[in-house]
């Protein structure tokens, strides 16, 4: 039953991650004019609801910040779904490793610590690698779209979104696991 539930999480999170990647790539396939018009509309809206914004920033600066924040946010959300997906995959693989040696030696607590570190380490590695490859692909797509250009700086911003979310989730996982081990 537990295995069935875990597979359902893998399929669900994997599907959502793929759909989110399609959303990201769809944004990259917009021409420069369309993308700029959408950003411009959002900037105008922000200037209308926060008129004091114009005293600190020019319209071009807000436009630039908005676009970079959109990159970061898109990839932070992707980081969440990649974490859930890879966490379930890694747990399935780690659970296949035999615990009997540790149990026979009365070292179950040691196994729990090893297991936890392996799960988090592999989940972080796979999530960040998948996110980086997605960011590189995203910026490569933009080089083929009229009035767009792939930028190395955007890959770094995208990766920062993935990294931030992955580290937040790893920290939460660490805190929850530590409480679980202390409670035993």
How many angstroms separate the CA atoms of 182 and 184, rounded?
5
- For residue 179, the surrounding DSSP H or E stretch is helix 152-183
Burial of 64 (0-12, 13-18, 19+ CB in 10 A): middle
| Spacing of C-alpha 63 from chain mean position | 24
CB-CB contact of 178 with 93 (8 Å):
no
How many angstroms separate the CA atoms of 14 and 30, rounded?
25
Tokens for 122, please give them: 């592999």
Count up the domains in the chain and report the number: 1
pLDDT tens-place string over residues 124-165 = 999 999 999 999 999 999 999 888 888 899 999 999 999 999
Phi-psi map region of 149: left, alpha, beta (phi>0 left; psi -120 to 50 alpha): beta
Tokens for 89, please give them: 């995959």
Domain that holds residue 82: 2-183
Phi-psi map region of 57: left, alpha, beta (phi>0 left; psi -120 to 50 alpha): beta
How many angstroms separate the CA atoms of 40 and 22, rounded?
23
The band of 79, judged by pLDDT with boundaries at 50, 70 and 90, is very high
Tokens 């914004």 correspond to what residue? Answer: 53
pLDDT tens-place string over residues 8-67 = 889 999 999 999 999 999 988 988 778 777 777 887 787 778 878 778 888 788 888 888
């Amino acid at each position: 039953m537990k295995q069935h539930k875990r597979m359902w999480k893998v399929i669900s999170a994997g599907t959502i991650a793929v759909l989110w990647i399609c959303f990201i790539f769809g944004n990259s396939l917009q021409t420069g004019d369309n993308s700029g018009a959408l950003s411009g509309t959002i900037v105008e809206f922000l200037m209308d609801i926060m008129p004091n914004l114009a005293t600190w920033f020019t319209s071009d600066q807000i436009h630039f910040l908005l676009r970079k924040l959109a990159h970061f946010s898109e990839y932070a959300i992707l980081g969440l779904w990649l974490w859930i997906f890879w966490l379930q995959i890694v747990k399935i693989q780690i659970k296949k490793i035999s615990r009997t040696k540790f149990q026979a030696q009365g070292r179950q607590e040691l196994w729990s610590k090893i297991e936890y570190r392996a799960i988090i380490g592999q989940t972080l590695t796979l999530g960040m690698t998948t996110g980086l490859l997605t960011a590189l692909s995203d910026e490569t797509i933009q080089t083929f779209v009229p009035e767009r250009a792939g930028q190395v700086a955007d890959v770094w911003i995208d990766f920062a979104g993935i990294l931030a979310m992955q580290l937040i989730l790893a920290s939460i996982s660490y805190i929850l696991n530590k409480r679980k081990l202390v409670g035993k």
